[in-house]
Amino acid sequence: MRVLVTGGAGFIGGAIVRQALARGDEVVVLDSLREDVHGAVPSFAPGIRFMRGDVRDADAVADALRGVELVLHQAAKVGLGVDFSDAPDYVSSNELGTAVLLAGMTAAGVRRLVVASSMVVYGEGAYRGPAGITRPAARTVADLDAGRFDPLDEHGNPLTPELISEDAPLDPRNVYAGTKLGQEHLAASWARSTGGSAVALRYHNVYGPGMPQNTPYAGVASLFRSAVERGERPRVFEDGRQRRDFVHVDDVAAANLAAAALERDGFRAYNIGSGDVHTIGELAAELAPAHLPPVITGEYRLGDVRHITASSARARRELDWAPRVPFESGMREFATAPLRAAVR
């Protein structure tokens, strides 16, 4: 099968490319090699057709789609961003890029899509309070400044975080989250219009070898690793008790190939997580050596959510996929694994 991997030179895209090649696929990579993401031009395995181009460029997309049967769409601007001045680039890169890609797929007759989405579409995760399952309001600046990090219900009662399913309400709370949901809506509309198959994989916190190391858009695991390499203590925001689901990049790549084999028309979303809950503080402690223990700063980023952890039961059931890399062994590997070349 000939597959197109957009963003195939990136962290997750690169892992997908390697697994697709290993199973015998013919792989086309379309990647713009943005200078704020890629510190150096990556090398590609023999047999890969690499095209340097942007998914917002209709001509580049049309060229990349020739003979393709399946698109694994990973190209996107990721992370919370620097400030709101990043908003136009997020919307253009993620939503416009997806729209141009889908229009190109329609013209080329390509009817199968897997798109990288994110846990951020849920906003705050699922919580249980005295009255049952509830969705708390966004945390206020006053509460965060006072160090009150955990959401409360409208009566001030504490809430217990739970795993979130794909049927939970979607409530994006920052620009990046809004664009990921926008990508999902575009994919669903395309599937309805063309009779195609669109699968959105809502990645939870992906980590592993080859993560970007020094961009403002890198994931928290990479930021901690990079600090240790510089001889600095990892800086943990809030109180370090934020709950997350850390999933290895190889498991995420395998989920993409499992989703590619799904034989159903229309749109379907899946959480892709390990199912193993850990805190940000636990992550920092796993990656920091004894002489560089993490420091809990109490700082926060407005727009961050407190707790978000996945139920991946639907993916296990419908995609015949399961994560295989345990947190402890994955973090041992990641603690010394190479990161991507630094961005200058």
- The residues carrying an active-site annotation are 176
Residue 125 CA to residue 306 CA, distance in Å, equals 8
Say which DSSP state 240 is in.
S
The neighbouring-strand residues paired with 197 are 112, 266
Distant-in-sequence, close-in-space partners of 205: CB < 8 Å, separation ≥ 6: 119, 219, 220, 221, 244, 245, 246, 247
From residue 15, how far is each of 99, 126, 156, 261 by CA, in Å? Answer: 24, 30, 44, 17
Length of the chain: 344
Residue pair 50/6 in contact by the 8 Å Cβ criterion? no
Residue 46 CA to residue 42 CA, distance in Å, equals 13
Q: Which two tokens stand for residue 330?
A: 């994955």
Q: For the range 30-33, what are the long-range contacts, defined as Cβ-Cβ under 8 Å and sequence gap of 24 or more?
A: 30/4, 30/5, 30/6, 30/55, 30/60, 30/61, 30/64, 30/75, 31/6, 31/7, 31/75, 32/75, 33/9
Residue 161 CA to residue 245 CA, distance in Å, equals 13
Residue 323 CA to residue 298 CA, distance in Å, equals 32
In the structure, how many helices (H) and strands (E) does the chain have? 11, 15
Distant-in-sequence, close-in-space partners of 259: CB < 8 Å, separation ≥ 6: 114, 199, 201, 270, 319, 321
Distant-in-sequence, close-in-space partners of 9: CB < 8 Å, separation ≥ 6: 29, 31, 33, 38, 42, 44, 50
Order of all β-strands in the sheet with 205-207: 205-207, 243-248, 277-279
Residue 59 CA to residue 75 CA, distance in Å, equals 16
